[in-house]
A = this chain, B = another copy of it.
């Protein structure tokens, strides 16, 4: 059985696995090529250098994050949906710390795929917030708070900054619930019966 030839997707996926294990700072061409069983220059057949690989990884990661959050919101609304998205968001960061870091890394070139994925995520959250009937500025504040808590908790958790042997899931659930409760109550769903 002949070995599968390398493709651009395989390169990005190999990079994704690598940064999740060794951190985003460890993203260099050598380990990616080795993982794929090819030499470094061959990577240039699929990706236009290291910067382009970082950019591709960022877009790939942001899209994956959005899709998981979107999936978590299916069949839920209001506070339920917010909590489910928060949990999906956090678990993505914990399971993919390197990819998530790539997502946040400043881009040397405009990155439409990354921008689009981030926009999609924001639109998803704004849609969930509709029943809360917030004013424009309040919506922004609430959104920033939501991202801050999820991002902050998950990155601190992942870095090992939370030393104590107290359950992380309980902490996150408690904090998130307290925050969501502080948002004005949504009107209940309209019954069609």
Using a CB–CB cutoff of 8 Å, the interface residues on chain A facing chain B are: 25, 104, 106, 137-138, 140-141, 144-145, 147-153, 155-156, 159-162, 164, 166, 170-171, 174-175, 178-179, 181-183
Query: Is the beta-carbon distance between A149 and B147 smaller than 8 angstroms?
Result: no
Residues of chain B with a CB closer than 8 A to A183's CB: 178
- Pick 11 A–B contacts, CB within 8 A, sort by A: A106-B159, A106-B160, A141-B175, A145-B171, A145-B175, A147-B152, A151-B155, A151-B156, A152-B152, A179-B182, A181-B182
8 tightest A-B CB contacts, nearest first: A152-B152, A148-B152, A145-B175, A148-B153, A178-B182, A151-B152, A141-B174, A140-B166
Q: Which residue of B lies closest to A23 (CB)?
A: B106
Residues of chain B with a CB closer than 8 A to A166's CB: 137, 140-141
Report Cα–Cα, A167/B156, bound state, in Å.
25
Residues of chain B with a CB closer than 8 A to A147's CB: 152, 156, 161
Report Cα–Cα, A182/B175, bound state, in Å.
9
Query: Is the beta-carbon distance between A148 and B141 smaller than 8 angstroms?
Result: no
